[in-house]
Amino acid sequence: MSTLALQQQALVSALFDWPADDAMKNVATRAIDTGARGIKAYQANGHALAERVLQAAYPVMAQLVGEDSFGDLARAYWHAYPPQYGDMAQWGEGLAEYVAGSRQLDDTPYLPGVARLEWALHRMTGLQDASPDLSTLALLSTEDPGTLWLHLAPGTATLCSDWPVASIHAAHGEGGPSFEEVGRLLQARAAEDAVVWRQGFKPCVRFALAGEAAFLNALLTRRSLGQALDAAPHLDISLWLTMAVQSGLLLAVQSGA
């Protein structure tokens, strides 16, 4: 391997290997002192970038763990899972699984669920736009549900958690429950289902109706309306349709007959 190749390999190691001190020793063997200082500057900039990117994607989680701890988490994740794409907005998808596997965060078992919810909202910014065609709703009154397919808003997903992650997220926004209420829900280990979707350009999240998670999951796996209704016998479909149209969750209906 050439000297240049060794230096390039050392640069990558300095930016991403962990622990960082070992990587810096590797750099020092292949560069003069001023070069090593430059590498340290690159590494510091990388850590700062990691923290900014993750804080943009996970603002509630950053508040939950605190500024210093979140900075430590961002740096550790940066070294464990270096970015693979030039677009840094795509980096951070696996943070929920990383947090779930961290023994240091065992006392906050709800954090992975919060991270999954925030990533579901974050990823919507890069999705393709879709326009509603409400004229197709007339098919709901004329066609057999078994021959109809519902088109949902970009990014639609359900998140089912053993913890009140939707309430935790809502408590950090306007009109959400108080932190005291969330504390009681955490103490009771209240499970919650959430729905996320994009209304126009706005990412949205709300609590799921009874049976809605099963209904949406069926639709998202390309089941017909009739099959989705069979999967969610307790869903109030009249209430759901009203909410879905008004909130932009339901965009169109397609007949397969």
In this prediction, residue 29 has a pLDDT band, given cuts at 50, 70 and 90, of very low
Question: Is there a single domain that holds both residue 62 and residue 160?
Answer: no
Question: Is there a single domain that holds both residue 100 and residue 152?
Answer: no
pTM, whole model, 2 decimals? 0.80
Write the pLDDT tens digit of every residue in 117-147.
999 999 888 788 888 999 999 999 999 999 9
Question: Is there a single domain that holds both residue 38 and residue 139?
Answer: no
Q: What mean pLDDT do residues 40-52 have? A: 73
Structural domain for 147, as ranges: 132-257
The number of distinct structural domains making up the chain is 2
Question: Is there a single domain that holds both residue 172 and residue 222?
Answer: yes
Of the listed ranges 8-17, 162-171, 195-204, 228-237, the least confidently predicted one is: 8-17
- The alpha helices in the chain, defined as continuous H runs, are 3-16, 20-28, 33-57, 59-65, 67-80, 95-100, 111-122, 165-171, 179-188, 212-220, 225-231, 237-247
Residue 124 domain-assigned (yes or no)? no
Write the pLDDT tens digit of every residue in 69-78.
899 899 889 8
Residue 126 domain-assigned (yes or no)? no
Write the pLDDT tens digit of every residue in 199-252.
988 899 999 999 999 999 999 999 999 999 999 999 999 999 999 999 999 999
243 neighbors 249 (Cβ within 8 angstroms) = yes
Q: What mean pLDDT do residues 151-170 have? A: 95
Residue 202 neighbours by CB under 8 Å, 6+ apart: none
